[in-house]
Amino acid sequence: MQFRGGEAIVKISSRKVDKATILDVSGNIDMSNSPEVRKALLREIREKGVTRVVLNLSGVGYIDSSGVASLVEGLKASRESGSRFILFGLNDSPREVLKISHLLKLFEVYDDEAQAVAS
Amino acid sequence: MKKSAKTRRVFLLKLELRSHPTLLCVIRGALEPLIETLGFSPEYCRALVRGVDEAVSNIMKHSYHGRPDQPIELYCNRLQRRANGGEESGIEILLFDCGAAVDTTKLPARPLDEIRPGGLGLHIIRGSMDTVEYKRAGRLNRLRLVKFAGFPKGGCNSAEGKPL
């Protein structure tokens, strides 16, 4: 699948698999829409009290620093509430930006959904 | 005396945009296919697009303080120079804005070992580009970003080093 950086819309939907809530995110995350991602993450972690939030990023082609900041906020909120925050399906660009930011090793990252849910 | 390497510059693209964040995707959408067409690697394209996107985001945030209707100009040039006995090709991006002068020493760039959101933009720009130069010229801010690569293979007219 070829990802292009020129798409502005981000779509977020949630579903339950076992004890985890999976958030399927697609599109490109930049400063125009990262507040939506942040809001969705914090709603699951703080308001709904989900104990395991799994973020499916396989449909995300691009994340900028504001998107990374939203992920960091999600991670911090999950640590504060004693829940787990898991990522899977990172494409090249999001993986590279987390690596440059020295944040990749902070997150629990899995290749696919089966691994993320079974972890 | 050693002769400095000559760099050839060929104009590729000019974009005039407003400082609205929804236009970031327009910049990415214009640059990515252009750079790919010239034969640069996908890794190179991603790094260049990332660096430019973060730089424009910084202009929107720090130079224009979030005002969405201010002008930004982007020029994209192809660079070629002789280096290490071969030809090296790269891209130069020039960004101009009319916002407040930026004190680069006050831009937020947090230590990377801190776990907190924000302050990552500058790290990402520097980590993605070879050269990052800021200059105040009259009432304009000028940001110059350069990234070189090995000679790209298979791009349009790449053997002649011509633009499209």
All domains of chain A in start order, with CATH: 11-118 (3.30.750.24)
pTM score: 0.88
Task: Give A18-60 pLDDT, tens digit per residue.
Answer: 889 999 999 999 999 999 999 999 999 988 888 999 999 999 9
> Predicted ipTM?
0.89
First to last CA, chain A: 26
- All structural domains of chain B, each given as residue ranges with its CATH number in brackets, are 7-149 (3.30.565.10)
User: Does residue B79 belong to the interface with chain A, where contact is any CB pair within 8 Å?
Assistant: no
| pLDDT at residue number A9 | 80
Q: What is the largest CA-CA distance in chain A?
A: 37
- Cα atoms in the 13 Å half-sphere on the side-chain side of B15: 22
Rounded distance between C-alpha atoms, residue B44 and residue B26, angstroms: 19
User: Does residue B60 belong to the interface with chain A, where contact is any CB pair within 8 Å?
Assistant: yes
* B31 closest CA partner among B108, B109, B93: B93
**Chain A stretch 98-117, residues whose beta carbon is closer than 8 A to a beta carbon of chain B:** 100-103, 106
Rounded distance between C-alpha atoms, residue A39 and residue A18, angstroms: 23
Task: Give A62-92 pLDDT, tens digit per residue.
Answer: 999 999 999 999 999 999 999 999 999 999 9
